[in-house]
């Protein structure tokens, strides 16, 4: 065989491998992308569940669940909750923030301490 024939055979092998490898790589990358999106959607659902839990009136029966919700929110937040805010969420319900940034229950954390706005 001549050098040209060897190159032609090598070219055909590379084309065949490329035809097989490209769909496999696309499938693997697509699967990873879908898994990342699904994980992100699940995190959002857990945060929604935690917020719903913290909006309910606290009781002795829900203390452990509220602690879980606070821990979950704190783990997902880029800025961690101060201890005063965590303590306030254990004993008071989280209500929606009213226009103007005031809350009707837990309030805002100012100077490291939770303040309730009524």
Q: Residues of the chain with pLDDT > 90: what percent?
A: 64
SS3 113: strand
The DSSP code for 102 is -
pLDDT at 67: 96
Which alpha helices (DSSP H) does 56-111 contain, by range? 63-76, 83-91
Q: Do residues 117 and 97 touch, judged by C-beta distance below 8 A?
A: no
Query: Domains in the chain: how many in total?
Result: 1
CA distances to 1, 6, 94, 113, 118 from 42, rounded to whole Å, are 60, 53, 22, 32, 34
Tens digits of pLDDT across the chain (118 residues): 788 998 999 999 999 998 999 999 999 999 999 999 999 999 999 999 999 999 999 999 999 999 999 999 999 999 999 999 999 999 999 885 444 445 555 544 434 444 444 4
Q: Which domain holds residue 106?
A: 3-115
């Amino acid at each position: 065989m001549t050098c040209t024939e060897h190159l032609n055979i090598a070219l055909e092998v590379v084309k065949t491998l490329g035809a097989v490898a490209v769909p496999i790589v696309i499938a693997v990358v697509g699967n990873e992308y879908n898994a990342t999106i699904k994980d992100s959607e699940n995190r959002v659902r857990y945060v929604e569940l935690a917020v719903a839990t913290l909006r309910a009136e606290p009781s002795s029966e829900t203390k452990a669940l509220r602690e879980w919700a606070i821990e979950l929110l704190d783990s997902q937040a880029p800025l961690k909750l101060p201890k005063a805010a965590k303590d306030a969420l254990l004993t008071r319900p989280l209500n929606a923030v009213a226009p103007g940034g005031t809350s009707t229950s837990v309030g805002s954390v100012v100077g490291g301490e939770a303040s309730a706005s009524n």
